[in-house]
Amino acid sequence: MEDVGSTAAIGVHSADHFAFAVPELDVATRFYTDFGLDVRQAADCGLELYTFDNPHCWVKISQGAEGSSKKLRYLSFGAYQQDMPEFERRLNERKIERCAPLNDDGGLWFKSPDGLPLQIKVAEKSSPDTKSHFISPSAEPGRAGAAPKAVAPAAKPRRLSHVAIFVADMDEALDFYADILGLRLSDRCGNHISFVHGIHGSDHHLLALVGSTHTGLHHMSWDLPSVHDVGVSSQCMIDKGYTEGWGLGRHLLGSNYFYYVQDPWNSYSEYIADMDYVPAGHDWPSADHEPGEVFSYWGPRSPKKFPQNFEAA
């Protein structure tokens, strides 16, 4: 294991937020409100996504061109103030292409190998410092364990767990995110998908990389306290007309229970519960897994179009 005092062990601590554009903001407002998020009007007339009882802004959504597809705009990562000079040194040493800022938060702006704008900025750690609390509710003898929907409390996501993006070259992307941002491989499945975590303590992955021909947003994942909440939330979305999705199931890599809701732009928002956690300084035993064992530990097969990138190149 690397010396925690070395520059090799310096890395971002969080996926602070990300941004994308959609052709119709009112459609986004309706979808993410139905999903259980706190949707707020932003000062620039776009939208911001929050979870209830948490002051952190997880997602920024802007107005894209009418009739266009959804478009991933940038990813923003949080880092400690004392580590910023090292990130700048890495960018300069590797002659990484810089780009113009896409928000007013300052920090370092540069491009991924696929041309996706990235930001590293000084920010409070939004990745969890411990594994998320998981509950398995069970009724006492003589009492009903389930309540009618009309009186049952609605499940609300607690935080953003991770974001999954498309990449054109898996090995190049893994090297880039490791060398520049200090993210470490948790697990992978060849060129199909890879999962990376933060060295300061994070979920099994705070970023997932999905093989494609170009960049784009595949899904965003939101933490819930129980598998029951995942089930209730998924049924609520189905009842509201969002019938396309995948789940209920459990992943092998990350171990989380899941349900994916297809959004209006053919990407996904995922409910999860009980994801594996990588503590700060822990040497996670990463491996390259066979495709047949990666996606579902149990549950239905994924839709055929699940790995497809619907964003324009």
Find, among 108, 100, 37, the residue nearest to 79 by Cα: 108
Integer angstrom CA distances of residue 248 from 165, 207, 257, 258, 307? 22, 22, 7, 6, 18
84, 105 contact by CB (below 8 A): no
The one-letter amino acid code at 36 reads G
Average pLDDT over residues 186-212: 97
Least confident of 61-65, 96-100, 185-189, 258-262: 61-65
Q: Look up tokens 């990138």; give the residue.
A: 309
**Given this model, what pLDDT does residue 199 score?**
97
Average pLDDT over residues 157-182: 98
The share of the chain scoring above pLDDT 70, in percent, equals: 97
pLDDT of residue 155 exceeding 90: no
Q: Which domains does the chain have, with CATH numbers?
A: 7-129+154-293 (3.10.180.10)
pLDDT of residue 247 exceeding 80: yes
Residue 6: pLDDT band with limits 50, 70, 90: low
Of all helices (H) and strands (E), which one includes residue 271?
A: strand 268-273
Tokens of 204: 């099994």
**Given this model, what pLDDT does residue 302 score?**
92
Average pLDDT over residues 273-294: 92
Cα 207-165-219 angle, rounded to 5 deg: 90
60, 17 contact by CB (below 8 A): yes
Helices vs strands, H then E, count in the chain: 4, 17
- At 216-225, the pLDDT tens digits run 999 999 999 9
237, 271 contact by CB (below 8 A): no
* Average pLDDT in the chain: 94
Distance from C-alpha of 34 to C-alpha of 272, rounded to nearest angstrom: 16
Distance from C-alpha of 158 to C-alpha of 223, rounded to nearest angstrom: 6
CA 148 to chain CA centroid, nearest Å: 32
Residue 51: pLDDT band with limits 50, 70, 90: very high
79, 17 contact by CB (below 8 A): no
Q: Greater confidence, 9 or 31? A: 31
Find, among 260, 266, 263, 268, the residue nearest to 299 by Cα: 260
Q: Show Cβ contacts of residue 49 under 8 Å, excluding neighbours closer than 6 positions.
A: 32, 37, 38, 39, 40, 57, 58, 59, 60, 61
Distance from C-alpha of 90 to C-alpha of 256, rounded to nearest angstrom: 34
The share of the chain scoring above pLDDT 90, in percent, equals: 85
Distance from C-alpha of 47 to C-alpha of 187, rounded to nearest angstrom: 33
